[in-house]
Chain A
């Protein structure tokens, strides 16, 4: 059995992160010492590594909860996991598209403001944002 510090170190997360995962219902300590300290076994360290790896791939905690549930179902198959991964990819691609559009909008605002010394009251970037706010 490992203490919280050792279990967290093995999975390369902080003890605070591990406690956070516990609050989010992703992991539970295997046991507690008589004085109430959390204890973890190797299966939980494996689970912890799985959670960290999934987060690094962009999965939100809600997705990870789904993945862990699928992983625990003997009847589930790889296609179920693949579907979650494809949906995550769609969401990421959607965000990339939105951010590219934002970047293009900024390009035109930057191009409109050719004079850096213009008084802020005449700033075309602020004027364009004001105009957009008035339209909304």
Chain B
């Protein structure tokens, strides 16, 4: 049986984004509650501009799951959990 790679979540943001700082903790907790193996990455768009453009990030903050842009603004923790659950079902 081959091991399935853990889901990778990227939060694209700009340094100094107060809204991201405020929401990040609750979102990360919800994401890990939904998928304990999830790999969470905070991405400063200015450090990885090419990667952000490649995924089609045009507004901040944005969230990509396994390289797919899923949210173009901050979701609620429940919306993020639902998206991760849908993603996991689709992956099976």
Tell me the residues in window 59-94 of chain A with beta carbons closer than 8 Å to chain B beta carbons: 78-79, 82-83, 86-87, 89-91, 93-94
Q: Are A90 and B17 in contact (CB under 8 A)?
A: no
Q: Are B49 and A89 in contact (CB under 8 A)?
A: yes
Q: Are A83 and B60 in contact (CB under 8 A)?
A: yes
User: B56 at interface (Cβ–Cβ under 8 A)?
Assistant: yes
Q: Are A86 and B60 in contact (CB under 8 A)?
A: yes
How long is the Cα–Cα vector from A32 to B75 in the complex, in angstroms?
Answer: 47
The total of interchain contacts (Cβ-Cβ below 8 angstroms) comes to 36
Number of residues on chain A facing chain B (CB within 8 A): 12
Q: Are B60 and A87 in contact (CB under 8 A)?
A: yes
Chain B residues contacting A83 (CB-CB under 8 Å) are 14, 16-17, 60
User: A97 at interface (Cβ–Cβ under 8 A)?
Assistant: yes
- Which residue of A78, A79, A82, A93 contacts B53 across the interface (Cβ within 8 Å)? A93
How long is the Cα–Cα vector from A28 to B29 in the complex, in angstroms?
Answer: 48
Known: A90-B57, A90-B58, A97-B53. 13 other contacts (CB 8 A): A79-B17, A79-B18, A82-B14, A82-B16, A83-B16, A83-B17, A86-B14, A86-B45, A86-B60, A90-B53, A91-B58, A93-B49, A93-B50
